[in-house]
Amino acid sequence: GNSVTQMEGPVTLSEEAFLTINCTYTATGYPSLFWYVQYPGEGLQLLLKATKADDKGSNKGFEATYRKETTSFHLEKGSVQVSDSAVYFCALRGGYSTLTFGKGTMLLVSP
Amino acid sequence: NAGVTQTPKFQVLKTGQSMTLQCAQDMNHNSMYWYRQDPGMGLRLIYYSASEGTTDKGEVPNGYNVSRLNKREFSLRLESAAPSQTSVYFCASTNLDRPGTDTQYFGPGTRLTVL
């Protein structure tokens, strides 16, 4: 079956530091891949997505590239802000658009 | 446009009690989903409805039932709540008819505690 593995947190960074959150997946074929973000007390919001191999998704300074060779979709940001503190979920699309999520990675950014 | 709405926001139940979580979307989406979120587990799919009139089990359906009341509404029922069902429940919706635009939109969640 489908599965997503992402690095455990929390990830603690200072403002303006470089961020990488690793995500790898197991699936049949080449499913669409997503990063969702959850701010404290809120639901999930789509951060970015990629629908095919070598696609790069980007939004709000975050980027992730769909690497089929390594079955990975790592999230990066060049300079994090305090307002980026949240939980980040990697996910892949299955049949009928169902989502399989990783366990989430909490990011804490200090001033 | 309210997006996806869920009621209630919080609920405390005693073991064995029943309740229904409500979800509605105003985006004319055809597909709707129920997930639960537990610490360290991410989100797991409970049930989904690919279109009005159909429902299917997800990864963790035991102890739950669902009803797709109409295109807008998709409810989740706990017939006899158990402490293991203490969780945060999220409803989501998307449009399966449009390939490449099937982003799921999530509601704000219902925090349920079963004592």
| Residues in chain B within 8 Å Cβ distance of A36 | 106
pLDDT value for A100: 93
* A5 pLDDT above the threshold of 90: yes
For residue A95, the one-letter residue type is G
Distance of alpha carbon B96 from alpha carbon A82, whole angstroms: 36
pLDDT value for A18: 98
| Residues in chain A within 8 Å Cβ distance of B2 | none
Helix (H, G, I), strand (E, B) or coil at A63: strand
pLDDT value for A64: 98
Q: With contact defined as beta carbons under 8 Å apart, do B63 and B109 qualify?
A: no
pLDDT average per 10 residues of sequence, chain B (115 residues): 91 97 95 93 93 94 96 96 97 79 86 96
Instruction: Give the closest residue to B35 by CA, choosing from B25, B50, B27, B45.
Output: B45
Query: Average pLDDT of A39-52?
Result: 91
Distance of CA B97 to the CA centre of its chain: 21
* Of the candidate ranges A22-31, A68-77, B57-66, the one whose mean pLDDT is the lowest: A22-31
pLDDT value for B98: 66
Side-chain half-sphere CA neighbours of B99 within 13 A: 4
Query: Average pLDDT of A81-87?
Result: 96
pLDDT value for B114: 97
* A68 pLDDT above the threshold of 80: yes
B106 and A32 in contact by Cβ < 8 A?
Answer: no
- Tell me the pLDDT band of A98, cut-offs 50, 70 and 90: confident
Instruction: Give the closest residue to B30 by CA, choosing from B100, B96, B104, B99.
Output: B96
- Tell me the pLDDT band of A3, cut-offs 50, 70 and 90: very high
B43 and A89 in contact by Cβ < 8 A?
Answer: yes
Q: With contact defined as beta carbons under 8 Å apart, do A105 and B51 qualify?
A: no
